[in-house]
A and B are shown apart, each in its own frame.
Chain A
Amino acid sequence: MAIQQKTNKEIFLNGIFNENPIFRLALSMCPAVAITTNLLNGILMGVSVIFVQICANSTIALLKDYIHPRVRLPIYSLTLATYVTVIDLILSAYFPVAYGALGLFIKLIVVFTFITMRLDVFARKNTVFPTFLDAMGMGLGFLWGMMVIGGVRELLGSGTLLGYDILGFKPMLFFVLPASGFFIIGFMMAIFNYTERIYKEKQSKRRIPA
């Protein structure tokens, strides 16, 4: 299989750039636009997703021989639901401020398409270590996507970053509204496509003399 020929580094970087869940796969857009009104929300959501992704991926990779293929989807859901409930309870008990902002969306992690997708596409077919790397990469890809969206929206919408006053005024209130999330995602996708094109052009130029 092609996927097994990848080096560990490639597996790790895959989720961050090539298959970035938000900007390349356009999955899990709902949280990406709904809760990213500020940088802190983005970071907290990203970190929660990393936690759930790593735990669920590793669990499935460990138990893949014992999971009957016919019922693998219910088992994925159960695994995800367990970890999400755990993190939901922990957040509500020890980080009440963050929980106030994220409350509803933490529970929604259960149905994040890209997490389930990683379980089925990658964890099911690989050993624990590559799966861990893949989960880490995917989670970090999601985290930095959320950070970019949240950061731009907080800076332009409320003139602050992580709650600290940076600009001293509110440049564009539009960025507080959910619609601006799509706006930023659109521009980020354009940037990704542009850099990919440039990169490929460079590579093909390099190959010609060789």
Chain B
Amino acid sequence: MKEMIKIVLGLCVTCITAACIMGVTFIFTSDPKKKNEHINFEKNMFNVLGYNENRSIPADLKLYSIFRYIIIQGDNQYLGYAVPVGEKDSSGYDLLQVDTNGNFVDHKHLDIKPEKVMEEGDRTSAIKAAVGGAATVTYADMFFVAKVENKRSAFLLPAETIGFKTTIGFMLALDPLYNVIGVEILEHEEDPGLGAEIEQEYFKNQFQGKSFEKVKSIVVIKQPIPDDYLKFLEKKKWRQGEYSEQEIKAMQQKYQDSDINAITGATISSVALTNGIKVAVKKFVYRVKVLDTIIMNKQIAVAF
């Protein structure tokens, strides 16, 4: 009995000590950790927008997030857009309910604080409360709108597509006229040396500067990339001042209407990503046009 008490006491003391050490560390590290995650996410977004060491981020750049939900009420299916409303610092979120033909149905205020909106659980329950009744609410996707000097400067949309093996997750940046600003590969499981080359600059940067009209009909061709274009695409290898602004513009102009050159030995992955981008852009443009029309007609004071 005495031994047992000894064991129990010993284990208790160890557990409490361990818990204390872990707790103290957690308190000291939780803030920098959250900050890191936030920075990392933003860095990806700024990268795809083309801001890097050479091109600094404008001070008044603001990002607004819009969430798309599928709402099923009885036999009817609706789309729900959770959009930030209010001036400047978005003061709240509203829900715009749209039917499948793109007609406006309902406009409700969401009871959620702006800083909680990125948490999927809180957001979904707020939407459920707003819709009310026995509706099924499912999260579909989201996109971001970047504003500079109170004007829309870009759309950012995370998307995914089926690659050679599993899904390829990527982020697309489009300008307000839906031309491609950049593509960033977020996650993939393609073969190293073959399909994995999609994350190399010489492939993904080929999408930069492609117009919406071109993207709608873009295809993959099996030809090697011309040498001057290849050098231009590998931006990380540029020396300081390798290209002047005019030269960059000229190069982009020159290859504006060229198709995508496939990765040698990985045509399937190249085609998969290209088609994924094509589909994502087409769908997104349709949706955002519907959304914009509704916002204009109903005079909703959205933040973006």
The chain A residues found within 8 Å of chain B, CB to CB, are: 66-68, 70-71, 74-75, 78-79, 81-82, 85-86, 89-90, 92-94, 96, 100, 170, 173, 176-177
Question: Given that A89-B29, A176-B193, A177-B192 are known contacts, is A68 also in contact with B7, CB under 8 Å in the complex?
Answer: yes
Query: Is residue B296 contacting chain A, with contact meaning CB distance below 8 A?
Result: no
Stretch at the interface among B11-19, B125-133, B242-250, B252-260: B11-19
Docked pose: A50 CA to B162 CA in angstroms:
42
Docked pose: A199 CA to B3 CA in angstroms:
51
Docked pose: A93 CA to B27 CA in angstroms:
11
- With a 10 A CB-CB cut-off, give which of B32, B39, B40 has the most chain A CB atoms: B32
Docked pose: A127 CA to B22 CA in angstroms:
26
Q: How many residues of B contact A (CB 8 A)?
A: 24
Docked pose: A170 CA to B11 CA in angstroms:
53
Smallest CB-CB separation from B237: which chain A residue? A165
Docked pose: A66 CA to B11 CA in angstroms:
11
Smallest CB-CB separation from B10: which chain A residue? A68
Q: Let me know if A86 and B22 touch, CB within 8 A.
A: yes
Q: Let me know if A75 and B14 touch, CB within 8 A.
A: yes
Contact of A173 (CB < 8 Å), options: B22, B28, B193: B193
Q: Let me know if B7 and A93 touch, CB within 8 A.
A: no
Q: Let me know if B32 and A86 touch, CB within 8 A.
A: no
Docked pose: A94 CA to B40 CA in angstroms:
13
25 A-B contact pairs sorted by A residue (CB < 8 Å): A68-B10, A71-B7, A74-B11, A75-B11, A78-B18, A79-B14, A81-B18, A82-B18, A82-B21, A85-B25, A86-B22, A86-B25, A89-B22, A90-B29, A92-B33, A92-B36, A93-B28, A93-B29, A93-B31, A93-B33, A94-B32, A96-B39, A96-B40, A100-B40, A173-B193
19 A-B pairs besides A71-B11, A93-B36, A94-B32 with CB distance below 8 A are A68-B6, A70-B7, A74-B11, A75-B11, A75-B14, A78-B14, A79-B14, A79-B18, A81-B18, A85-B25, A86-B21, A89-B22, A92-B29, A93-B31, A93-B32, A96-B36, A100-B40, A170-B193, A173-B192
- With a 10 A CB-CB cut-off, give which of A92, A100, A170, A177 has the most chain B CB atoms: A92
- What chain A residues lie within 8 Å of B26 (beta carbons)? 89
Smallest CB-CB separation from B34: which chain A residue? A93
The chain B residues found within 8 Å of chain A, CB to CB, are: 3, 6-7, 10-11, 14-15, 17-18, 21-22, 25-26, 28-33, 36, 39-40, 192-193
- What chain A residues lie within 8 Å of B28 (beta carbons)? 93
Write the nearest CB–CB distance from B45 to chain A, whole angstroms: 16
Q: Let me know if B22 and A85 touch, CB within 8 A.
A: yes
- What chain A residues lie within 8 Å of B31 (beta carbons)? 93
- What chain B residues lie within 8 Å of A78 (beta carbons)? 14-15, 18
Contact of A89 (CB < 8 Å), options: B14, B25, B40: B25
- What chain A residues lie within 8 Å of B33 (beta carbons)? 89, 92-93
Docked pose: A68 CA to B3 CA in angstroms:
9
- What chain A residues lie within 8 Å of B22 (beta carbons)? 82, 85-86, 89
- What chain B residues lie within 8 Å of A173 (beta carbons)? 192-193
Write the nearest CB–CB distance from A71 to chain B, whole angstroms: 5
Smallest CB-CB separation from A72: which chain B residue? B10
- What chain A residues lie within 8 Å of B10 (beta carbons)? 66-68, 71, 75
- What chain B residues lie within 8 Å of A86 (beta carbons)? 21-22, 25
- What chain B residues lie within 8 Å of A100 (beta carbons)? 40
Q: Let me know if A176 and B192 touch, CB within 8 A.
A: yes
- What chain A residues lie within 8 Å of B193 (beta carbons)? 170, 173, 176
- What chain A residues lie within 8 Å of B40 (beta carbons)? 96, 100
Docked pose: A170 CA to B194 CA in angstroms:
13
- What chain A residues lie within 8 Å of B32 (beta carbons)? 93-94
- With a 10 A CB-CB cut-off, give which of B7, B11, B25, B30 has the most chain A CB atoms: B25
Docked pose: A3 CA to B21 CA in angstroms:
33
- What chain B residues lie within 8 Å of A79 (beta carbons)? 14, 18
- What chain B residues lie within 8 Å of A67 (beta carbons)? 10
Docked pose: A70 CA to B10 CA in angstroms:
11
